[in-house]
């Protein structure tokens, strides 16, 4: 562990955003960065694994020069790894030869902008080691310029001057002696939480960091702003942004673990303490979550294939899949390290091929695994239906992606006289960020709704939850002689949508400023009736909305209701089979709603595993 204080380094001075220094640096660095020769060092001896980051303001115009400088200088010292630089700072996971470690320390110590970076020192690795569990995780050095150190998906930058109170591992350990009246949030991805976590920690249940905010808001819904929120992640980089987010939301008692789990682990080992972190720490290299990352002997996860207790992450041995799974030694032997019998068969076929045959085979079959990312291939354990098969997930499952959604939209045909939907989506893209647009239905889902209203010949549609009006306009355009009544309570969204309705001359959509339940009650009094209802509003209102629609005459007999998000990121299944967190309030509410609908004898219903779950209900 080192903390480096900055000294002057002339060649990097422009990163202080000083105009005079900016001119000076151009005399040291080329104006055009050319493609460098391949850097792949050999026989470097013993290597020190190091990770560090720092949020610090860098001049965006000078990032290409900084990238070139780091590549050039660090390659001379035999550094390998992944380094990301952005306007908000630096994030690095690297190895440094022990023979140049002191020089590297001096180099970092001289950077004027790197004045508070905590270096987490990992394992010492032999560069010539061939054991996959022990060999160096890097082959070369990559320095990449990125918009963010950790992509957060937010529509504006977080103010990083108030990130909550930073606790040393010693202070954190002391705080965890009493966890009453505390909320402890694990800011990592779900597969990391599976094999190791602090006692009492709540998982935010996300696949990627940008999904954190909606889940965190759901967990804290209704909580007092003085709630003690303790947050942690692997190395600390996520927590700083989560801390900034919570403070901007008005939470006044936010505490984060300095240096993350890695730094905490060093502390408890140095002082021979009983770890409050249970199980194993997941790290993003060949070590994954295996023996050298064990903090306690607690086994918290289960083998994805047989369900036996297991804490070991591996990548599927079928290189076309490479899915990240938890696999016990028995299943590893049985399936030759593959995640399924199908992938095992692929592996056996490729093992018998020479290089050219394998390349052609991979090219031909890659489409079957195109959805896979690393980490990936995850079906959460606990669902009893998994017991019907040794394969706990399908290698050929089609995962949602922008490419898939685009394909569905392009290959779905809905006859409409006036295609206003594409123009509407373009207008949304201009005025809303991608993060905000994730709250909308996709173009493919819009076409699904168009198909339903046309096929059902439903001229009168009610929508609960308008947002940008995209789904309302999609349905309205599919029935030019019909009418859509929709509602919302967001003043900004209402104003935007009304302006667009006028600008794009859409006359068969009426947007009412009202909560969904209140609007339905008003419409019942007015004896209004509808053939089709689409509900995509507040999830806690789903159950009373369902009852109002079914018990009154507002929905015609044989009329349809479609509820969106009824699987809610898979958390509903977790709740249904006893594996969810009691703080997943939205998932609990939807699980209760799903049970309520399934037991209702006045309707027929089906939950479709489409998008985030669609429940189709027909009044009978």
Buried b (16+ CB within 10 A) or exposed e, 367-379: eebebbeebbbbb
Catalytic member of 136, 187, 229, 233: 233
Say whether 233 is catalytic: yes
SS3 assignment, position 592: helix
Per-residue HEC secondary structure of 369-394 comes to HCCCCCCCCCCCCCCHHHHHCCCCCC
Reference 534, options 487, 598, 477, 591; nearest CA is 487
Contact 339, 372 (CB under 8 A): no
Sort strands 313-315 and 324-326 into parallel, antiparallel or unpaired. Answer: antiparallel
The DSSP-derived string for 159-209 is -TT---EEE-HHHHHHHTT--TTEEEEE-S-HHHHHHEEETTPEE---SSG
CA distance 16 to 4: 17
Residue 600 structure tokens: 């209702």
Helices (H) and strands (E) in the chain, counts: 21, 22
CA distance 124 to 95: 9
Length reported for the chain: 620
Reference 408, options 362, 372, 449, 469; nearest CA is 449
Residue 243 structure tokens: 């801390």
SS3 assignment, position 212: helix
Sign of CA dihedral 149, 153, 156, 158: negative
| Phi, psi (degrees; rounded to nearest 5) at 166 | -85, 125
CA distance 600 to 391: 34
Reference 80, options 127, 35, 138; nearest CA is 138
CA distance 541 to 543: 6
User: So which residues are the catalytic ones?
Assistant: 233
């Amino acid at each position: 562990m080192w903390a480096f204080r900055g000294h002057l380094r002339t060649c990097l001075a422009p990163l202080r955003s000083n105009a005079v220094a900016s001119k000076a640096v151009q005399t040291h660095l080329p104006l055009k960065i050319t493609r460098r020769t391949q850097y792949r060092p050999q026989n470097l001896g013993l290597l020190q694994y190091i990770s560090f980051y720092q949020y610090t303001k860098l001049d965006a115009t000078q990032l290409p020069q900084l990238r070139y400088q780091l590549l050039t200088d660090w390659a001379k010292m035999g550094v390998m790894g992944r380094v990301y630089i952005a306007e908000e700072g630096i994030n690095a996971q690297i190895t440094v030869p022990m023979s140049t470690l002191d020089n590297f320390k001096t180099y970092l110590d001289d950077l004027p902008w790197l004045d508070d970076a905590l270096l987490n020192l990992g394992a010492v690795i032999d560069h010539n080691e061939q054991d996959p569990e022990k060999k160096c995780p890097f082959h070369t050095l990559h320095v990449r310029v990125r918009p963010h150190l950790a992509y957060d998906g937010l529509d504006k930058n977080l103010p990083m001057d108030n990130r909550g109170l930073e606790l040393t591992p010693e202070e954190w350990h002391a705080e965890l002696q009493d966890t009453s009246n505390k909320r402890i949030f694990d800011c990592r991805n779900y597969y990391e939480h599976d094999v190791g976590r602090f006692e009492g920690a709540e998982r935010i249940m996300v696949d990627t960091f940008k999904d954190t905010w909606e889940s965190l808001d759901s967990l804290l819904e209704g909580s007092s702003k003085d709630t003690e929120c303790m947050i942690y992640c692997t190395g600390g980089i996520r927590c700083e942004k989560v801390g900034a987010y919570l403070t901007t939301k008005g939470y006044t008692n936010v505490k984060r673990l300095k240096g993350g789990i890695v730094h905490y682990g060093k502390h408890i080992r140095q002082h021979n303490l009983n770890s409050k972190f249970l199980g194993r720490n997941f790290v993003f290299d060949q070590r994954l979550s295996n023996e050298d990352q064990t903090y306690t002997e607690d086994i918290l996860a289960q083998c994805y294939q047989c369900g036996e207790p297991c804490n070991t992450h591996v990548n599927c041995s079928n290189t076309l899949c490479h899915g990240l799974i938890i696999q016990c030694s028995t299943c590893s032997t049985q399936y030759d390290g593959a995640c399924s019998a199908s992938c095992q068969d692929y592996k056996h076929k490729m093992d018998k091929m020479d290089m050219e045959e394998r390349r052609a085979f991979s090219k031909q079959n890659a489409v079957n695994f195109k959805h896979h990312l690393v980490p990936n291939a995850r079906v959460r354990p606990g669902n009893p239906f998994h017991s019907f098969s040794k394969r706990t997930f399908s290698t050929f499952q089609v995962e949602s992606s922008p490419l898939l959604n685009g394909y569905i939209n392009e290959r779905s045909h809905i006859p409409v006289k006036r295609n206003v939907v594409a123009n509407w989506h373009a207008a949304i893209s201009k005025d809303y960020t991608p993060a905000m647009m994730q709250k909308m239905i996709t173009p493919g889902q819009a076409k699904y709704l168009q198909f339903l209203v046309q096929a059902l010949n439903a001229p009168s549609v009610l929508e609960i939850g308008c947002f940008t009006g995209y789904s309302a306009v999609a349905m309205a355009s599919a029935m030019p002689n019909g009418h859509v009544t929709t509602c919302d309570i967001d003043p900004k969204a209402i104003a935007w949508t009304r302006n667009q309705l006028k600008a794009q001359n859409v006359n068969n959509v009426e947007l009412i400023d009202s909560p969904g339940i209140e609007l339905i009650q008003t419409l019942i009094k007015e004896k209004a009736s509808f053939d089709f209802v689409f509900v995509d509003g507040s999830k806690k209102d789903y159950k009373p909305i369902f009852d109002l629609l079914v018990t009154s005459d507002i929905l015609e007999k044989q009329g349809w209701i479609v509820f969106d998000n009824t699987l809610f990121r898979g958390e509903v299944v977790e709740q249904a089979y006893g594996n969810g967190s009691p703080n997943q309030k939205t998932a609990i509410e939807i699980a209760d709603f799903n049970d309520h609908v399934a037991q209702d004898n006045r309707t027929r219903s089906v939950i479709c595993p489409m998008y985030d779950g669609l429940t189709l209900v027909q009044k009978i």
